[in-house]
Amino acid sequence: MPLTTEATGTPVTETYWLSHAWLGTHVEPGVALDVADGRIARVRTGVEAAPPGATALRGLTLPGLANTHSHAFHRALRSTVQVGSGTFWTWRETMYQVASRLTPDSYYALARAVYAEMALAGITAVGEFHYLHHAPGGTPYDNPNAMGEALIEAARAAGIRITLLDTAYLSAGFGSGPDDYREPDRHQARFSDGTADAWAERAALLKGDDHTLIGAAVHSVRAVPAGQLSTVARWAEERQAPLHVHLSEQTAENDACLAAHGRTPARLLADHGVLGPRTTGVHNTHLTDEDIALLGSTSTGTCMCPTTERDLADGIGPAAALQHAGSPLSLGSDSHAVIDLFEEARAMELNERLRTRRRGHWTAAALLRAASVDGHAALGRPEAGVLEAGAPADLVTIALDSVRTAGPVPRLAAETAVFAASAADVRHTVVAGRHLVRDGRHTLVDDVPQALAQAIGALRP
């Protein structure tokens, strides 16, 4: 029997007919979504053909994807950092060089193009882990949030939602003891507000709206002195805002934290009130069993970024163990080695297969949940990531007739999406009911490749 769910109130402004839709547990053929005021007003199943006036989305339509962890300016590093060899720490030196050349105007141009690339990949919301606050040398701009506001406007211009995770980055690393931290170096000076109190004062000036949420981030335990962690945590708590933190990405950081504090980074964060259900640890790669239990027992989330973690040779994090312990999983493209949430989802499963030599740690449904509903929740939008009445009308449709996706029966379209499709298969992206990507073309940014090439080219020395 056809199913109808409805949210009454605002008049319908748009109807989308989905040839096949992922409804969280199964693929449903013939679904009509009525949209009102940017939200799904009604879901109708058993609709065999597009109703008069409806926009047809042919393929598999999923809830819009959430890119939980992004550093937009890292997109300028693609390919450049693939020359030669090295480690995370040598990669970081190249990253600093790019960061040193950005201004509010050039950051806007780059981020607009990067967020447009995300829209083409079916991403409807991004969590931007933002720490590039000041001018080179650390002098604040006349508008102290010029760089953050450039990112907000770039996301708006590209048509996607943003959670700006304004990041406290105050030190260059651990010193000789628990109260000793090294001053930011010349590259890091523009990241630092000096103290967590000064960071909080500046971050409080940022404003959100329907398009933008403002959250907080601790860059890492090496970059925020332990005695100031609680200031960042309290700022987020007072606003009920998301709080993110790079956690145990590198063993060198773990070793330094143990030497300085006699405890792991996860325990240090817990002891200063950082962990909890609104907090997401990014990477969570090198954890002890006690760390895993601690993150799970506090319902602290985990954002895995598999394409970056493998690109930087970080290692394979214990995603399955974390989820089993109670840590919700989300996904991010981080350094943008590629921007493809389907690749992130399958990489998490395939990494675990390589590590354990066993298949099937997550179903396609579970991986899609990490790429959508749990990612949106980590970004402060728990109502998003589902095709249900009352949810934001954020959708992505992938082709089921490309060279990658053709052949399987439609009921297995979720498996096709996760284990075969790529960002190149995205045909449509809808954000707040607005048809943002139509037949593979961005409707707001005319030539996304050209925009990327120009913005990145302008940053070359």
Q: Is 168 helix (H, G, I), strand (E, B) or coil?
A: strand
Considering only CA atoms, which of 79, 89, 169 is closest in space to residue 132? 169
Give the pair of three-digit tokens for residue 257. Answer: 């934290």
| All residues at 6 or more sequence positions from 145 whose CB lies less than 8 Å from its CB, including other chains | 133, 202, 205, 206
Considering only CA atoms, which of 92, 70, 73 is closest in space to residue 185? 92
Q: Is 206 helix (H, G, I), strand (E, B) or coil?
A: coil
DSSP codes, 261-304 = HSS-HHHHHHHTT--STTEEEEE--S--HHHHHHHHHTT-EEEE
Residues designated as active site: 283, 334
Considering only CA atoms, which of 60, 61, 73 is closest in space to residue 100? 73
Helix (H), strand (E) at residue 60: strand 55-63
Q: Is 384 helix (H, G, I), strand (E, B) or coil?
A: coil
CB neighbours (10 Å) of residue 83? 8
Give the pair of three-digit tokens for residue 51. Answer: 């109703």
Phi-psi region of 86 (alpha: psi -120 to 50; beta: other; left: phi over 0): left
The total number of residues shown for the chain amounts to 461
Residue 434 burial by Cβ neighbours in a 10 Å radius (0-12, 13-18, 19+): middle
Give the pair of three-digit tokens for residue 318. Answer: 């214990």
Q: Is 246 helix (H, G, I), strand (E, B) or coil?
A: strand
